[in-house]
Amino acid sequence: MTNSTRPLRLLFVAPGFPKISETFVTDQVIGLSRMGHHVDVFTTNPGSLNDPGLRQELAGAMGHLHLPPGTKLDPELSWLPQRRQPTWWHPRTKLNILQVLVNRQFWSLRYPLRQGAALLGQPAYDAIVCHFGPAGVMLQAMRDIGLIKAPMVTIFHGYDITNCLGQVPDTYYNNLFARGDMFLPISDRWYNRLLELGCPEERTQVQRLGTDLQTFAHAMRTAEPGQPLQLLSVARLVEKKGIEYGIKAVARLNGQGIDTVYNIVGDGPLRSELEALAGKLGISQNVNFLGARAHAEIATLMTENNILLVPSVTDARGGMEGIPVVIMEAMATGLLVVASRHSGIPEIVHHEKNGLLAAERDDEGLASCLASVHRDQQRWQDLVNAAHGTVHTNYDLHRQNAALAEILSQLNQPARSGRS
């Protein structure tokens, strides 16, 4: 740890934590803890993790899980140290409550006080890291009434500047943009979108996610002669994941005489509809719905398949992805990535250079990409080798965590120098 990244006391905030579909949050918590920083987490919607390995890592990495009073906790998370009420005996609690009560905005902001009661009286944090814009809005409201005082960064992922904006007033982010300390979109696309929304350019920069490259053994996974082409998708079964178009592409491949098996990891509201689609296309025997799986199981599945298929689309409400971490994991482990030109995906998957891309909702284009590499093993290998270089250069989790720690340390310096 360098002088510029000396140990910090950090509060991570996420609408749901922990979530198997958002391991990028737990990866940051674990990574920053290993660097020597103290990390607490605040969430209004505690989830669960069915990955024993990740659970053990979290147990050693986290400080406290702060929860609003009365929040139900999944029994699977009972091992996490929890805090739901203020430490009433601490002088800092009484001081904070007094400051909140005399705040002229108190009566309009009682909700953030009630939600964040467990944070009263906690030792001062050096920085707050909010994942997703709504978390930033909530924490900024808490800062507005004096409930918590610390520099704050908000990481934007995609949902928070697509679907979310269709459900809230146009002014939803105005206070956050005006008073937040730093804004970190995870892709160039979302950087530009934030500026369009009025986010201050001087306090905005791209902070990419990453994956732990040390956990993946890189190996070519081309289809063996006489064996079916094995495709893998890892996605929640919702519209924006585009699994419908993956299934249609598989039907096209089998229709061309390319024996293809499609393994789909994940669950969601569209599962029965997608199963019916596979049946209608006559390929039920070729499409396996594997349900939600632990992260460790997904890593194993990557070694058993040939290509990661990411057919993401913009959904009917304008919802979009960021850059799925599973793409980084696939590149690290040697899976070829075939995806749609969606959101930030082209920032990591460069067509004909380290992977293949088709237009959104273009199952024919996806099938054409898949068939082309199936016929040309050397081209397949060249793309996979290039992808390995891409992920090691730009999406190494340890480098990205170090970059985030540097941002938090620099952000904290004025606050530190003003403390007695």
Residue 5 predicted with pLDDT over 60: no
Residue 86 predicted with pLDDT over 80: no
Q: Which two tokens stand for residue 396?
A: 């190494």
- The answer to which of 119-123, 317-321, 336-340 has the lowest mean pLDDT is 119-123
Residue 195 predicted with pLDDT over 60: yes
CA dist 108 to 15, 55, 142, Å?
22, 39, 12
Nearest Cα to Cα of residue 29 among 411, 38, 46: 38
Amino acid in the structure at residue 51: D
Q: Is the peptide bond before 81 cis (omega within 30 degrees of 0)?
A: no
DSSP code string of 79-117: TS-EE-S--TTSHHHHHHHHHHHH-TTGGG-HHHHHHTG
Q: Which two tokens stand for residue 395?
A: 């999406």
Amino acid in the structure at residue 14: A
Residue 47 predicted with pLDDT over 70: yes
Chain centroid offset of residue 89 CA: 37
In the chain, the percentage of residues whose pLDDT exceeds 70 is 88
pLDDT-based confidence at 70, cuts 50/70/90? confident
Distance between CA 155 and CA 135 in Å, rounded?
A: 9
Residue 180 predicted with pLDDT over 80: yes
Chain centroid offset of residue 256 CA: 36
| Per-residue confidence (pLDDT) for residue 262, from 0 to 100 | 98
Yes or no: say if 187 and 205 are a contact pair by the CB < 8 Å rule. no
| Per-residue confidence (pLDDT) for residue 102, from 0 to 100 | 61
In the chain, the percentage of residues whose pLDDT exceeds 90 is 65
Residue 90 predicted with pLDDT over 80: no
| Per-residue confidence (pLDDT) for residue 416, from 0 to 100 | 38
Phi, psi of 11 (to 5 degrees): -115, 115
Helix (H/G/I), strand (E/B), else coil: 240: helix
| Per-residue confidence (pLDDT) for residue 109, from 0 to 100 | 54
Q: Which two tokens stand for residue 267?
A: 């669950």
Yes or no: say if 396 and 213 are a contact pair by the CB < 8 Å rule. yes
Distance between CA 190 and CA 160 in Å, rounded?
A: 10
**Cβ neighbours of residue 386 closer than 8 Å, sequence gap 6 or more:** 353, 354
| Per-residue confidence (pLDDT) for residue 302, from 0 to 100 | 94
| Per-residue confidence (pLDDT) for residue 418, from 0 to 100 | 32
pLDDT-based confidence at 171, cuts 50/70/90? very high
**Adjacency order of strands within the sheet including 336-340:** 287-291, 260-265, 229-234, 307-310, 336-340, 356-358
Residue 251 predicted with pLDDT over 50: yes
* Average confidence score pLDDT of the chain: 89
| Per-residue confidence (pLDDT) for residue 88, from 0 to 100 | 53
| Per-residue confidence (pLDDT) for residue 108, from 0 to 100 | 55
Average pLDDT over residues 70-84: 82
| Per-residue confidence (pLDDT) for residue 3, from 0 to 100 | 44
Please tell me which of 78-92, 145-159, 306-320 the model is most confident about, judged by mean pLDDT: 306-320
Buried-exposed string 78-95: b where 16+ CB fall within 10 A, e elsewhere: eebeebeebeeeeeebee
Angle at 106 between CA 100 and CA 109, to 5 degrees: 115
Q: For the segment 350-409, what is each residue's pLDDT rounded down to a tens digit? A: 999 999 999 999 999 999 999 999 999 999 999 999 999 999 999 999 999 999 999 999
Yes or no: say if 25 and 17 are a contact pair by the CB < 8 Å rule. yes
DSSP code string of 400-413: HHHHHHHHHHHHHH
| Per-residue confidence (pLDDT) for residue 96, from 0 to 100 | 63
Average pLDDT over residues 324-346: 96
Q: Which two tokens stand for residue 44?
A: 């209004």
Q: For the segment 101-144, what is each residue's pLDDT rounded down to a tens digit? A: 666 655 555 556 667 777 876 778 999 999 999 999 999 988 88
Q: For the segment 208-229, what is each residue's pLDDT rounded down to a tens digit? A: 999 999 888 888 788 888 899 9
pLDDT-based confidence at 35, cuts 50/70/90? very high
Residue 297 predicted with pLDDT over 70: yes
Distance between CA 408 and CA 150 in Å, rounded?
A: 11
| Per-residue confidence (pLDDT) for residue 75, from 0 to 100 | 80
Domains with residue ranges and CATH for the chain? 3-210+396-417 (3.40.50.2000), 213-394 (3.40.50.2000)
- The answer to which of 127-136, 157-166, 220-229, 280-289 has the lowest mean pLDDT is 220-229
- The answer to which of 4-13, 135-144, 386-395, 411-420 has the lowest mean pLDDT is 411-420
| 205 vs 299, residue with greater confidence | 205
